[in-house]
Amino acid sequence: MTPDALSAALAAVIVPLAETRRPGSAAGLTAADLPLERPKNREHGDWASNAALKLAKAVGANPREFAGEIAAKLAETPGVASVEVAGPGFINIRLDAAAAGALARTIVEAGAAFGTNESQRGNTINLEFVSANPTGPLHIGHTRWAALGDSIARLLLASGGTVAREFYINDAGAQMERFARSVLAAAKGEPTPEDGYAGDYIAELARRVTAKRPDLLTLDPETQLTTARDLAYEFQLAELQSSLEQFNVHFDVWFSERVLHAQGQGGDASLVDEAVDRLRAQGHVFDEEGAVWVRTTDFGDDKDRVIRRSNGEYTYFAADAAYYLNKGDRGFARKIYLLGADHHGYVHRLKALAGAAGDDPDKDIEVLIGQLVSVNGARLSKRAGNIIEMDDLREWLGTDALRYSLARYPADSPLTLDPELLRKRTNDNPVFYVQYAHARTHNVARNAEAAGVGRSEFAPELLDHETESALLGALQEFPRIVAFAAELREPHRVARYLEELAGLYHRWYDNCRVIPQGDDPVEAVHRTRRWLNDATGQVLRNGLDLLGVQAPERM
């Protein structure tokens, strides 16, 4: 019996009891309103509910008395072994072994689909993350946002959402001109401009630009600059894309900021021009001292924002506005931004922008701020000189260790990684611990197959050892963990769940044999445990995939 099936059974019991006591008190009550929890102490049963406590006032009953009525009726449900009332009205539920054990077969037959759910069905989401300037390599901060953003996307997709992973390329503005002057100076053998970009990677780009355009330095000064900018941009963007793909992060959309500023055919207004007009039509734009403003204080911003200066130049806020509106035009009702620790000021600004655009700032936009991450003993990049590069980290620690470790903590928690720990092949290393548990399930399956222990028989009532009950209880939780992590945008909940599951599997492995000892015959219990073994491997595999981490079959 799955948690959802048990919640449905609980609702089927509670609704008529409540209606008998006070008609109308259970109107609209569904299984979704009756969440179950796993008791911390397994001796209290498989599941617990506080439904009687929550509903007692509405139905006009003493909580413990109402819990007793629920327990008596629920105990008649097929698959429920016993129901007890504890404390002021908690309901502890124990399933019979067959009902609990049936989950093993369900998981194996569902395969990669087990854990998927419909909690995000109907949500069309644009998830923007990383969005680094294409003027240099990706650094350690981008590495964290890449791991978190991609895992959040995987969770949303697994929960039925429609998601586009988007990278906003900041390829317009003053930083691109500084980038161009830096590359051109390197091509000429001149010092880096005072406000330019330094590092060996600039010299590498200059060599690639001049190899592509040997005539670069014979061109007129303006053409030299635009040629250096465009070619270096092309090379650097391709490097960013390669770094992310090697980190197992794929983007569906690479959106160029230049698109927002480009004039339409025949000199039509740009998307930035149109954004000002559209916000004005919503009634939140005003003119003052020759400048154009958006009254973002109407939506909780600390001050109103200039969108076009008195000299006619647009501010960065104008591009933000055009980009936000463009996402909606592309069909994305919900927009999630994952920004770095230095972007706290953007939270109110972007939410106010959503309100000024006519959207609901509390529903249609989310701004997640990731905190800083550091690595003990990490060296600065040899090429960039002042950063720790993603590629260096990946080559040093490995994609799996990095992705798992970065997803293992909430985005808003500062994080320091221990490279010595992450490179250990011991149970102290969380990613090794989980991957080893998965590899062990495959090793057990290989050895079982060789010993003639297949899955030709399934007797779930035989899965009655205490470690089997605990393992099955954890396996049941996986779909709920996925849905909850997706709703909260918190991949770390999956990582911590996998570590708990791995620990329960190792304890089961130590206590319950899949392969008979010596010359003992293969029995139904061995074949049934094979199902449980393979079910655990499937859930570990599914969970690791949500984090973008490999599930090795041998270690």
Helix (H) or strand (E) holding 291: strand 291-294
Judge if 11 and 38 occupy the same domain: yes
Instruction: Flag whether 257 is in a domain.
Output: no
pLDDT given for residue 248 in this prediction: 97
How far, in Å, CA of 77 to CA of 41, rounded?
Answer: 23
Closest listed residue to residue 145, CA positions, set 447, 402, 423: 402
Closest listed residue to residue 126, CA positions, set 161, 175, 75: 161
Judge if 67 and 106 occupy the same domain: no
Judge if 115 and 205 occupy the same domain: no
Range of the domain at 495: 101-119+425-546
Cα distances from 35 to residues 20, 71, 360, in angstroms, run 22, 16, 28
Judge if 75 and 181 occupy the same domain: no
Bridge partner residues of 375 (DSSP): 417
Tokens 């998830």 — which residue?
Answer: 127
Instruction: Flag whether 479 is in a domain.
Output: yes
Cα distances from 233 to residues 141, 330, 381, 483, in angstroms, run 21, 26, 20, 40
pLDDT given for residue 224 in this prediction: 97
> What's the per-residue H, E or C state across 431-469?
HHHHHHHHHHHHHHHHHHHHCCCCCCCCCHHHCCCHHHH
10-residue block means of pLDDT along the chain (555 residues)?
Answer: 87 94 90 85 86 93 95 94 94 91 96 97 97 94 96 98 97 94 97 93 97 97 97 98 98 97 80 95 94 93 93 94 97 95 86 95 94 84 80 95 96 92 93 98 98 96 94 94 97 98 98 94 97 98 98 96
Q: Please report, as a single letter, which amino acid is at residue 339.
A: L
CATH code of the domain in which 77 resides? 3.30.1360.70
Judge if 430 and 542 occupy the same domain: yes
pLDDT given for residue 3 in this prediction: 81
How far, in Å, CA of 15 to CA of 26, rounded?
Answer: 6
Bridge partner residues of 294 (DSSP): 285, 305
Judge if 58 and 114 occupy the same domain: no
Closest listed residue to residue 430, CA positions, set 411, 403, 412: 403
Instruction: Flag whether 449 is in a domain.
Output: yes
Judge if 91 and 106 occupy the same domain: no
Tokens 């655009």 — which residue?
Answer: 357
Instruction: Flag whether 205 is in a domain.
Output: yes
CATH code of the domain in which 499 resides? 1.10.730.10
Q: Encoding tokens for residue 49? A: 């509910």
Instruction: Flag whether 186 is in a domain.
Output: yes
Judge if 78 and 114 occupy the same domain: no
The total of structural domains in the chain comes to: 3
Model pTM score: 0.91
pLDDT given for residue 265 in this prediction: 63
Cα distances from 468 to residues 149, 295, 450, 486, in angstroms, run 35, 60, 23, 28
Judge if 84 and 195 occupy the same domain: no
Judge if 89 and 111 occupy the same domain: no
How far, in Å, CA of 202 to CA of 224, rounded?
Answer: 16
Residue 112 region by backbone torsions, left for phi larger than 0, else alpha for psi between -120 and 50, else beta: alpha
pLDDT given for residue 382 in this prediction: 67
